[in-house]
């Protein structure tokens, strides 16, 4: 046998001996995304108290604190779903939430004591909410497709809370921007 042909035959033999990886299924994707949002929620639990402390508006601080308590409940719901899957509750670093919270931290630093701080905090918080809404909507749908109605119900509960928070933040945005405009007017006067 020519050298090249021998080499090719050997390559074919070793390739067939290599164990085939099991195909990734929707259930794998579901678990991976669950780990992603578990990491995100835990990151948010660390970030929200800082945002509440920084906020000038009492209403905004109260909204952040309320959502902190809700987030703790959301983490418990995720832990229940990990349990249903017989998997340990473990997060997987999520670069998306790291990026969004980093932006929030930058705003807190760059706009410290500035009238526009609250508007910036609101924008950062809404970016977080929208990310979560997208993740929970996906997970809820996948749980239904995977025949996990109890998990789907828990995910829907969290999705409802995230949407309500987003709504509250949208309403607060008007009053926060009005306050800011007032402060700027006073400064200019």
Q: How far is the CB of 41 from Fe ion (least distance, A)?
A: 5
Check: CB of residue 94 under 8 Å from CB of residue 40. yes
Q: What is the three-class DSSP state of 168?
A: helix
- Looking at the Cβ atoms of 81 and 115, the one nearer to Fe ion is 81
Which ranges in the chain belong to alpha helices (H)? Answer: 3-17, 26-54, 58-84, 95-110, 117-145, 149-188
Near Fe ion by CB under 5 A: residue from 52, 54, 55, 74 = 74
What's CA 108's distance to the chain center, in Å? 20
Long-range contacts, stretch 175-182, CB < 8 angstroms, 24+ apart = 175/57, 175/59, 176/57, 176/60, 176/118, 176/119, 176/122, 177/119, 179/56, 179/57, 179/115, 179/118, 180/115, 180/116, 180/118, 180/119
Q: How far is the CB of 128 from Fe ion (least distance, A)?
A: 8
- Looking at the Cβ atoms of 115 and 121, the one nearer to Fe ion is 121
Q: How far is the CB of 158 from Fe ion (least distance, A)?
A: 6
- Looking at the Cβ atoms of 119 and 159, the one nearer to Fe ion is 159
- Looking at the Cβ atoms of 114 and 138, the one nearer to Fe ion is 138
Q: Is residue 36 involved in binding Fe ion (CB under 5 A)?
A: no
x/- track of binding to Fe ion for residues 131-160 (CB under 5 A) = -x----------------------------
Sites for Fe ion among residues 75-134 (CB under 5 A): 132
Only one of the segments 25-33, 53-61, 69-77, 149-157 lies at the binding site for Fe ion (rule: CB under 5 A); that segment is 69-77
- Looking at the Cβ atoms of 118 and 132, the one nearer to Fe ion is 132
Q: 157, 129, 152, 132: which is closest to 141 by C-alpha?
A: 152
Summarize as ranges the residues that interact with Fe ion (CB under 5 A): 71, 74, 132
């Amino acid at each position: 046998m020519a050298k090249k042909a021998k080499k090719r035959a050997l390559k074919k033999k070793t390739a067939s001996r290599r164990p085939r990886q099991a195909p990734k299924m929707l259930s794998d994707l579901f678990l991976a995304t669950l780990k992603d949002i578990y990491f995100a929620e835990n990151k948010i639990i660390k970030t929200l108290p800082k945002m509440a402390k920084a906020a000038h508006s009492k209403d905004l601080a109260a909204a952040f604190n309320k959502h902190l308590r809700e987030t703790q409940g959301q983490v418990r719901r995720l832990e229940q779903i990990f349990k249903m899957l017989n998997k340990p509750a473990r997060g997987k670093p999520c670069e998306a939430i790291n990026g969004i919270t980093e932006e929030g931290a930058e705003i807190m630093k760059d706009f410290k004591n500035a009238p526009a701080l609250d508007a910036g905090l609101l924008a950062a918080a809404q970016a977080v909410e929208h990310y979560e809404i997208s993740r929970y909507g996906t997970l809820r749908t996948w749980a239904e497709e995977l025949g996990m109605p109890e998990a789907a119900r828990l995910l829907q509960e969290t999705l409802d809370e995230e949407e309500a928070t987003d709504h509250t933040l949208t309403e607060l945005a008007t009053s926060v921007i009005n306050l800011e405009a007032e402060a700027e007017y006073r400064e200019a006067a």
